[in-house]
Chain A
Amino acid sequence: MIDWTTVSDLIGLLNDWIVIILMMTGFYIVIAQHNLVKKVVGLNIFQVSVFVFYITMGKIDTGSAPILKEGISVYSNPLPHVLILTAIVVGVATTALALALVVRINHSYGTIEENEIQTIEHDEEDVA
């Protein structure tokens, strides 16, 4: 027998599943990838999962934008949406700075592969 309440719960929480999948995907990429640009991509996916999380939180079924108008009585909560605008801006700044650092790392090391950079740094320490 199929337990329909469980199934509808699973589907009803679709956004949350997406959040978790994105979050873990991004987190894994940050940890596992050696390429610095891919790390930044992973970090972005990780952050986007949080955006989806906040946006989902504020949305109410059949809820409309919080504008006073005849015939609308159910509103979505605009606060999490506004909060996440701020977080998106912070995310853009972080990405810009991270990429700027990658450019300069590439400039001075000639590579953006973390393991190659570590070998270079290790050799340097032996010399020093």
Chain B
Amino acid sequence: MPTSDPWLILLVVVPLLAAPVCVLLRNASAAWSVATAVAWAVFAIAIKLLMTVLDQGQATYRIGGWDAPWGIEYVLDPVGAFVVVVVAAIGAITLPYAKRSVEKEIRHDRIYLFYAMLLLCLSGLLGITVTGDAFNLFVFLEISSLSSYVLISLGQDRRALTAAFRYLIMGTIGATFYIIGVGMMYQMTGTLNIADLRTIMPAVIDTRTVHAALAFLTVGISLKLALFPLHMWLPNAYTFAPSMVTAFLAATATKVSAYVLLRIMFTMFGDVDLFETFPLQPILITLALAAMFLASLSAIWQENVKRMMAYSSVAQIGYIVLGIALATESGLAGGIVHIFNHALMKGTAFMALGAIIFGTGAVTLKDLEGIGRRMPMATAAFVIAGLGLIGIPLTPGFISKWQLVMAALELDMWPLAALILLSSLLAVIYVWRVFEVAYLRPSPAGVRAPNEVPLSMLLPTWLLALAGLYFGTHATFTLDLAHTAAQHLMGGL
């Protein structure tokens, strides 16, 4: 009899219940205090769960005491625990940062609603990760998506509204594709429990319904993941969302979708030779490479640095998907460790940009002339993140790219390894563009000394940047964790 771990449900229920509390408080600082306290509590729970999972292999909770597969079961394995910690950590670090940034960017009477939405989004993302039920996953997917549409639409520019609307349309199509897939699977297997689906799947894999289901699930989640060429919603959404929202979503939302893709391919379809039956590998590798090159090329031409980083996110998602597509233990470990590393780097980059927006009001390359001298701390944090995106040694980006290159070499895919390295050179170009403008050009005449960026924004940014440097130099822990997670996915434990 597996023990029931109540922390699993608390992870989801605490932020879910705190959201209406924020609405009832109707006060900006009170709502912020509640949200911050909850985010840190959730982070503590996540760490505790990670310990439990590393110790016992997995943690489960049966909702209402109903046994799976009849009841909804929450399951956390090493992969899930890893993603839960990433999401919770980003939540805990971005919330102290949010206070001043949000005060400046969002109308005062809406701030308490902002925090309620943020908590809902956090709850949804964590729910996706811990649930062991395919339909429950859809519900959490929609909780997190609906709240992120609202969060994005709160941006100052009116284009935030159209960006949110476009994301809503594409996100809803993605989620609806996902339930069509789940429905077809249910038709064939009569179960919604992901572990149960896994055991029944080999018996029904040769039916057209299941093939169609796999197609719907993959395309639906790829929309949420912003896998090239389904990424059209992402650049504008990230560009026009409030700084805090961009930092939070860029570091968590697409990562959680990558986790769902892993779940579909290696848990639901874990007992069938998915990659041998279907031409998944060539398709995914092609799309991943297209993302790495085309999105990086787009990033190079952007004048708005926030949009540049958004395109860079699409490219980085390419690396994650590439790791998944290799479908070997090292490949998966590379993809999984990149989920963590990219969350660190993109979180830092967008937080640093948010700090610069706080000081100057905008982040087009023109606004950034000489910013390295006017706002040295924020710019330096951005540069560290940029180096990480390129994959310079000592930064976390190096670890994941190294792992991916090794995985490609293990499979004798020399051209692929070369392409991974080549695509990094594109990142050098766009990061250099920002560096050149920020440090090598003089501040335009007449620009007064920048407004002071509050410490409450700089500290979290630097905390994340230093965490990046730490995990770039002490990669054993994250890599070991990623390897354990990958073994778990491959080994069918």
Residues of A at the B interface (CB closer than 8 Å) are 27, 30, 36, 39, 43, 46-47, 50, 53-54, 57, 80, 83, 86-87, 90, 93-94, 97-98, 101-102, 104-105, 108-109, 117, 121, 124, 128
Contact = CB atoms under 8 A, between A and B. Distances in A.
Interface residues of B, number: 26
Contacts of A80: 183, 186
B151 to A, nearest CB: 12
A50 B176 contact: yes
A14 B138 CA distance: 27
Given A57-B187, A80-B186, A36 B165 contact: yes
Interface of B: 135, 138-139, 142, 146, 149-150, 153, 158-159, 161-162, 164-165, 168-169, 172-173, 176, 179-180, 183, 186-187, 192, 364
Given A57-B187, A93-B146, A94-B172, 16 more contacts: A47-B176, A50-B179, A53-B183, A54-B179, A80-B183, A80-B186, A83-B192, A86-B139, A87-B138, A90-B139, A93-B142, A94-B142, A98-B168, A98-B169, A104-B153, A105-B165
Among all A-B residue pairs, the 6 with the closest Cβ atoms:
A108-B158, A101-B165, A90-B142, A105-B161, A104-B161, A94-B172
B167 to A, nearest CB: 10
A100 B142 CA distance: 17
Contact of B149 (A30, A36, A97): A97
Contact of B169 (A30, A57, A86, A109): A30
B173 A101 contact: no
A100 B165 CA distance: 10
A110 B247 CA distance: 31
Contacts of B159: 121, 124
Contacts of A86: 135, 139
Contact of B179 (A27, A87, A121): A87
A87 B135 CA distance: 10
B362 to A, nearest CB: 9
A83 B139 CA distance: 10
A18 B439 CA distance: 62
A104 B165 CA distance: 10
Contacts of B180: 50, 53
B225 to A, nearest CB: 19
A43 B169 CA distance: 7
Nearest to A83: B135
